[in-house]
Structure formats: structure tokens, C-alpha cells
A and B are shown apart, each in its own frame.
Chain A
Amino acid sequence: MPDHEPMVADAVLGELRQPVPVSATFNARVMRAIQELPHRHGRVVPLPTRSSPRRIRIAFGAVAAGVLAMFALPSSPRAHARRVQFVLVAPRARNVKVVGDFNGWDTSHAAFHAKNRGGGVWSVTAPVPVGHHRYAFLVDDTVWVADPMAPRADEDFGTPNSALLVPDQE
């Protein structure tokens, strides 16, 4: 399969394969950030490898439907992540998806597509890595909905987001 016309592609690829300049301070910045991480006895502090069974309480709201709901969910044994149930009450929605930094803000991740459980309740349970996250609901692929019951994250990209903390330990 010809990928491209040589006259265009050769010049383009030649340019794209050229080294890209990096700030002179880049290496130092990276190492400074690393030095500021917590260390123990001079060794890298390993990230947790397994979560113990526990429960996480997280609140999710439904701006679109004007209804709030709170759920408590079992956790997951999946390493470095806990299973979190996302719930939105949106009776008139045709589809609801959860997007956040934990799935690359990618709406195509089927694992984060909520299902209609009846009564306008949409929910999905999915693994979310331990740590701080931003997320939002995307209703009908067009309406960006933050969780009014969760702390609001910075809206530095022009759309409302919520903050989520998935703790490592109870």
C-alpha cells in the first residue's frame, strides 16, 4: 500500500525526522522534579502494587437532570486502581459517558460508557488509578456536565470538570 507520494513525503518526513530543540534547562527541571519526590533510604518509593479490599464513597450528581445521588461502592483488586462507580441521573439522555484524565478524555473507551439502569439512572463501574483526577460526564456526546457534589476542578480549558481522589488506603 503506497503511503504517500514520494515527492511530498520525502520532504515532509525529512523535516519531521529532524531533531527538535529542547530547552537547555529541561534535564535539570526533570531531575529537580524527581529529587522532590518522596524517597526512602535512598531508594525509589515504589507505587503500590495491590489494593486491599475496601469501599470508596464518592458522590456524583446530575446537573442535566437536576437530581443528585450518592453511592458507596466496593473497590477492585486491580493493581494501582480502584473500581469506582459513576452515576448520573439524566432521564432524557440518550447516552452518558465518563471522561477524565484516567481515560485520556477519550469518549471512545467502552469501559466508561454508562448504561441506563432504569428511571433515568445511568451508571458505569470502571477502574480508576489511585490518585487525583479530573473528570466530567458527557451527555449525548454534546453536553459537558460537572459533578455538583464533587469539588470543582479548574476550568482552565473552558469546560467544567470535577475533582476525584481515589485514595490508596482507607
Chain B
Amino acid sequence: MDASSDADIVGRVLDGDVDAFALLVERYRDRCARYAMHMLGNREDAEEVMQDAFVRAYRALGRCEDPERFGAWLFRILVNRCRTAGARRSRRARTFVSDELALMSASQEHPAERTAWREEIQRALAELRPEQREAFLLKNVEGLGYEEMSEMTGVGVSALKMRVMRACDRLRVLLQEANSA
């Protein structure tokens, strides 16, 4: 793992070392994947959005005002791309398809139970309104603060808190229903 700072890598890329961008892809891929997958619900869409976000970030790298915080800047791009992709997807018939890769990576001790539990969570997430799902994931999964979320999404802190609260309430109901079914 390259120990260079984000700013160092960004500088190298801007100086013409295109391949150095691969270090940033490797560094932030997994976090992006987690958010995009949970936001969009399937791996194909998630990876498409991730690739789009990375390419956009590369093209706009010269406008990254604080290269040391490249990760936060990239994540903002990803959040916006997920919004766009999610809005498009919402106009399609919503289907839930088990992710084969996720199935393969499920716990070997109790693969069936683990997979079922994952699917229940993913179904419940998919039931949330997109803005609630976004706020919930940013706060509770990605661990962002409300101020950072507000800066990232353009939504006020109070509204974000309300979205997170409603998302939690809704998830609790949905998962309790699933458990009692």
C-alpha cells in the first residue's frame, strides 16, 4: 500500500503521472463501493456509478481545491452520481436481485442465514425514500458529521437530522416486520 498522501498523489497525477491515479482508486474503491451498493441496491449499477465518479474526479482533478481531502471531494461526486442514477432507476420497475458476488462472499459458517439477513437489510434500505437512505448511510454507515453531510448534499442540518431519524424509524419497522414474518 502506497503511503503517499492524497495531496502527493494528486500532484503526481496533475504532473502527468496518470498511472498514479490508480493509487487513489485502490485507496477509495471499497468505501465508494459500500455506499454505492447500499444506495443503489445492485452491484452493476454501483460499479457503473463508481467508475463514472472516478473518471469525473480525474477529469476535474485540477479543480480539487484541497487535494489532501481528495477522499471527501470524491465522495461528494459519488453522492451526486448516485442521486442521478437513483432517480433514473426509480423510473424503472424496481426489482431486487440477489448479488452473486455478495452471495459468494457470505459467511461460510451460516451462508444461508447471513445471505438472507443481508437481503432483508437491502430490501429495507430500498424501501426508504432516496433522500432518507442517503442521509442514513452517510451518517450511520459512513460516519460523517451533520455539518459535513450538509456541505456535501446542500441540505440543511435540521432536515438531515429529520431524514436520519425517519430512516431509522422506518428501517426498524421494516426489519421487525421481516423478522416476525
Residue ranges of A at the interface with B (Cβ–Cβ < 8 Å): 1, 3-5, 8-9, 11-13, 15-23, 26-27, 29-31, 33-35, 37, 39, 41-47, 49, 101, 104-106, 157-159
Contact = CB atoms under 8 A, between A and B. Distances in A.
Contacts of B15: 43
Interface in B155-170: 161, 164-165, 168-169
Nearest to B162: A1
Contact of A26 (B29, B91, B168): B29
Contacts of A3: 140, 164-165, 168
Interface of B: 13-16, 18-19, 21-22, 25-26, 29-30, 33-34, 37-38, 43, 46-47, 50-51, 54-55, 58-63, 80, 83-84, 87-89, 91-92, 101-102, 104-105, 117-118, 121, 125, 137, 140-141, 161, 164-165, 168-169, 171-172, 175-176
A26 B70 CA distance: 20
B74 to A, nearest CB: 12
Among A19, A21, A41, max chain B CB count under 10 A is at A21
Contacts of A26: 29, 47, 50-51
Contact of B55 (A18, A33, A159): A33
Contacts of B89: 157
B50 to A, nearest CB: 7
A8 B172 contact: yes
Given A37-B55, A47-B63, A1 B161 contact: yes
Among A46, A47, A104, A158, max chain B CB count under 10 A is at A104
A106 B141 contact: no
22 contacts: A1-B161, A1-B165, A3-B165, A8-B172, A16-B34, A16-B38, A16-B121, A21-B43, A22-B50, A27-B29, A34-B58, A44-B14, A44-B16, A44-B58, A44-B59, A45-B59, A47-B59, A49-B63, A105-B88, A105-B91, A106-B87, A157-B91
Nearest to B137: A16
A12 B165 contact: no
Contacts of A1: 161, 165
A12 B51 contact: no
A13 to B, nearest CB: 6
Contacts of B105: 21
B91 A27 contact: no
Contact of A19 (B34, B137, B172): B34
Nearest to A28: B22
B62 A44 contact: yes
B51 A29 contact: yes
A101 B30 contact: no
